[in-house]
Chain A
Amino acid sequence: MSHPETAKRGMHLAEFGMLMAIIGTLLHHEIVTYTWILAGLAVGSVVGLAMGLWVPMTAMPQRTALSHAFGAFAAALVGISEYFRHGGHLGKIEMSALGFEVMFGSLTTTGSLLAFAKLQGLVRGTPMTYRGQNIFNMGLLGVTVVIFIYLIFVPGSMPLFFTMAGLAFIFGILLVMPIGSADMPVVMSLLNSYAGLASAATGFVLSNNVLIIAGTLDGFSGFILSILMCRAMNRSLTNVLFGAFGSAATAEGGADHQGSMREVGLEDIATQLAYANKVVFVPGYGLATAQAQHAVRELADALEKRGVTVKYGIHPVAGRMPGHMNVLLAEANVPYSSLYELEQINPEFPTTDVSVVIGANDVVNPDARDNPTSPIAGMPILEVDRSKSVVVLKRGQGRGFSGLENPLFFKPVTGMLYGDAKDTLTRLVQAVQHA
């Protein structure tokens, strides 16, 4: 998967491999009746196909969260069923693996479901915290682990087993509760990782090498992505999981900003863009919510027709999951050669005539670079404030998901263009064509 071209081939290989694995399993000697299997396969395929074909790209994060929930749930169920089957006669090793499987599977299931709810807007996106939350969570986790260890030595205590599973389910919810929307990319990768680890544990329990390999690959993939996301935000993993980012922001307050935000007119911006040499678009989650990805591509096309160089600066944690912006823009037919990563695009800002920030906030907040007391201090940002001119497309004067003031909006180089992004961009296209 190192390159979009070879990725497709790789995927076909993977699909074929999976098919072989499944067929091989169906011929397993322990299988007595096929009715349930076929029924399950049929139902699952229908649901999977439906989800795969009809989910819009903008709902990708939600769908991914649901998928984690399904995968983890399957692992947890297999674990519970195995326990049921063997009763209390499991060896220490098997019990350990099974315990892992059920614990990880359970907490990932509920955690992912809550992540789905937050992303879908069914539940508040702001962090839900209460005093002593971390201690309570740790305590709950401690109790669960103690039960787990006890079960390894005394596997027969069924009520304890189910208590452990139940606690794990609850822990999943509690773990994801304090995560703010902006930290979602990290949590998503982590849940991806846990679902994989649960599958790997299943492999240990069932002595199935394929499961171990697949689960480990998945687990590692998620884990590496999580680390990458954390590095991109310059916060440690523990900070993200237990730092309740939102509450930290209100405690700090940030610096009080003098000055006001300068509002600009659409026609002026259109002229600026039309006569620029180089324009960089910086998309954020706002682009996704406004569904403005096609509009921004149309604007880019109109500008390129006039000989303007157009590039896109993609921050690694822009959006709600890793690669969110890339997929969104790809859906709008933006060629991926126009998408630039942080390290590539930052040196270009001083020579950029106009940077257009669309629904992005924290990823372009200069406080991360200039203000050591800011909650986002140290996080690498897209340095749009170094360009010759900045236009920020925003719905209103609100503070965005993190609740932080953004001094970029107050800088003299910045102009604010309020309104719905899709609407604004479409009108800009027309204005540029007539400039």
Chain B
Amino acid sequence: MTGHTLIAALYVFALAAFLGYQVISRVPPLLHTPLMSATNAISGISLVGSIVTAGASYNTVSTILGFIAVVCSTTNVVGGFVITDRMLKMFKRKEIAKKE
């Protein structure tokens, strides 16, 4: 990574940090658990890196490690979204919950 690319990357990092702070601090405690599972799913974005590693046929070790990484990341992505969905479905308003 050249110095130029590093600066660009740091810039992205700083922007993401600012954005992250703004967004996350607005999440009410009620939604903290779905937040955790959602960010877990998002961290499965490391799937992106794993895919390249697994598919580029660099060498056997890399491919195997990449394969394991793909399995782990995919589990996170799929599982994370499914669970977050389940949780969010459960949060109902009083009017809908009470039918009597």
Contact = CB atoms under 8 A, between A and B. Distances in A.
Interface of A: 1-4, 7-8, 11, 14-15, 18, 21-22, 25-26, 28, 30-34, 36-37, 39-41, 43-45, 47-49, 51-53, 55, 57, 60, 63-64, 67-68, 70-71, 73-75, 77-78, 80-82, 84-85, 91, 93-94, 97, 188-189, 192, 195-196, 198-200, 202-204, 206-222, 224-225, 228, 314, 316, 321-324, 326-327, 330-331, 333-339, 341
A34 B66 CA distance: 12
A70 B76 contact: yes
B46 A326 contact: no
A249 to B, nearest CB: 26
Contact of B73 (A70, A196, A212): A70
A324 B25 CA distance: 18
Interface in B15-66: 15-17, 19-21, 23-59, 61-63, 65-66
Contacts of A196: 39, 43
A198 B44 CA distance: 11
Given A11-B85, A37-B55, A323-B31, 7 more contacts: A22-B48, A52-B83, A70-B73, A84-B58, A204-B1, A217-B24, A217-B42
15 contacts: A21-B45, A28-B52, A44-B78, A47-B74, A52-B83, A60-B33, A74-B50, A94-B1, A195-B40, A199-B46, A202-B49, A208-B48, A217-B19, A335-B97, A339-B30
B41 A14 contact: yes
Contacts, number: 354
B50 A31 contact: no
Contact of B39 (A37, A206, A207, A217): A217
B36 A225 contact: yes
Given A75-B46, A225-B35, A333-B97, A31 B91 contact: no
Contact of B51 (A31, A216, A220, A221): A31
A322 B73 contact: no
A68 B46 CA distance: 12
A1 B31 contact: yes
A4 B88 contact: yes
B65 to A, nearest CB: 4
B32 to A, nearest CB: 3
Contact of B88 (A8, A37, A94): A8
Interface residues of B, number: 86
Contacts of A94: 1
Given A37-B54, A81-B66, A74 B31 contact: no
A47 B1 contact: no
Contacts of A217: 16, 19-20, 23-24, 39, 42
A211 B84 CA distance: 21
Residue among B39, B72, B77 with the highest chain A CB neighbour number at 10 A: B39
A316 B29 contact: yes
Nearest to B27: A1
A220 B17 contact: yes
B41 to A, nearest CB: 7
Contacts of B80: 48, 52, 67
B9 A63 contact: no
- Considering the complex of A and B, which 9 residue pairs feature the smallest CB-CB distances, nearest first? A44-B74, A52-B82, A40-B70, A48-B78, A323-B32, A220-B20, A323-B33, A48-B79, A322-B32
Given A4-B30, A77-B68, A84-B59, A11 B81 contact: yes
A4 B67 contact: no
Contacts of A44: 70-75, 77-78
B54 A195 contact: no
Contacts of B73: 44, 70-71, 74
B67 A39 contact: yes
A181 B26 CA distance: 27
Given A78-B69, A192-B39, A43 B74 contact: yes
A229 to B, nearest CB: 9
Nearest to B79: A48
Contacts of B67: 36, 39-40
Contacts of A337: 93-94
